[in-house]
Amino acid sequence: MAKIGEAKVVTTDVFEMGSIPWKSFNLDTSAPSSPPTTLLIFTPTVPAAYTVIVFYHGFFIPPSYYTQLLSRIVSHGFIVVAPQLFWNGLPMFGSDEIKYAGEVVDWLVNGLQPLLPENVEAKLEKVVLLGHSKGGKTAFSVALGYAKTTLKFSALIGIDPVGRLSKCKATESPPKILTGVPRSLNLNVPVAVIGTGLGPEKANILFPPCAPDGENHVEFFNESKPPKANFVAPNYGHMDMLDDVTPGIFGTVLAKCLCKNGKGPKKLMRETVAGLVVAFLRAQLDGDYKDFDAILENPGIAPAKLDDVEYITA
C-alpha cells in the first residue's frame, strides 16, 4: 500500500477552481456504515491525507443545493461531509438538530474512511465546522459543546449565520447562543464569519429578512473570541451562494423569492465564499498565510466586493 502523505496544493489562486480531482456521492441511513442521517459526501480522488469539513445546511435547504460551492472547496484539497438535517421530509429544530449534528461528527471516526477512494485518508485529528444560515448557528452550537462529540475541532466558519428570524422569542429554537455581549462565546478555535449586505433586507412584503439585524453575522463575529476574521459581501444576499439551479418549486421560491438577492452573478459570490474558506483554513491549519494575508491587504482581489474585512488576533 502506498504511503499517504499530505495533500499537495497545485494552484495558489483560492478564488479559482482547484486542480485536485474529486467526486461526490450520497449515503442514506440504510448503508452498512449506518450514518445517523442522510449524507452528501465530497472527496478528492488523488491519494493524500485531507482535512475533513462538516457542513451544515440552512433552513429547509438540501445539501445538494450547495454543490457548486462545496465542490470548489473540495477541489483545493478537503473532504466535505454534508448531513441533511431533516426528519420525515421536514427540517429538524433545536435539540434534535444539534444531537444529530453531533452524531454525524462521531460517525466520522469509523464510518468515513471505508467509503473514501483508495489511498485517500481522512485527517480526523481536528475537524472543521462550516455552516450556512441556521446551519451556521448549528456549527457554532456544536463547537460550543451543545453536542457531545469525541473529536476535536480545528476551525469554525459561519456563512451568513443566523440566530433566529427576529428578536421575537417565538422564532428561536434552542440552544440560545447569542448573548449580546462581545467575545462571550466560549470558543477555543479560530473563527471566520462571512456575511452579506442584503441579508438584513426584505425581499418583499410577504417575508421577513432572512438574516435580520441583531441576529446575523454581525453578532456572531462580535461575540466570538480571537483569533477571528470577518468578511462582508455588501452587494449579495443570504441565498446567493447556492447553486444556479435549485430544482423544484420550493427550490425556486427559496432561491428567488424568500430572500433579497444581489444583482450580480451568483458565481462570483460562490467563488468569493469558497476562496475565503480555503484561504482561512490554509492559514489557520497549515500556517500558510500567503493567500489570507493578500486578501486582508487587498480585498479587491476577491471576485465579489468585500467590506468590513478584519482579522483580530487578540
Model confidence pLDDT, tens digit, residues 242-264 = 999 998 877 777 777 789 999 99
pLDDT for 9 equals 43
Give the predicted TM-score (pTM) of the model: 0.93
CB atoms within 10 A of CB 25: 10
Residues in the chain, pLDDT under 50:
1-3, 8-11, 168, 170-171
DSSP assigned state of 107: H
Helix, strand or coil, per DSSP, at residue 267: helix
Give residue 89's Cα distance to chain centre: 22
Give the pLDDT confidence of 289-299 residue by residue, as tens digits.
999 999 999 99
pLDDT for 96 equals 83
pLDDT for 8 equals 47
pLDDT for 1 equals 34
pLDDT for 207 equals 85
pLDDT for 53 equals 98
pLDDT for 204 equals 86
CB atoms within 10 A of CB 29: 11
pLDDT for 11 equals 40
259: CB partners within 8 A, 6+ apart: 198, 199, 203, 207, 209, 210, 211, 237, 238, 239
pLDDT for 93 equals 59
**89 conformational bin, left if phi > 0, alpha if psi -120 to 50, beta if neither:** left
> Catalytic positions, please?
133, 160, 238
Cα–Cα dist 275/284, whole Å: 14
170: CB partners within 8 A, 6+ apart: none
Q: Which three cell numbers stand for residue 96?
A: 434534535
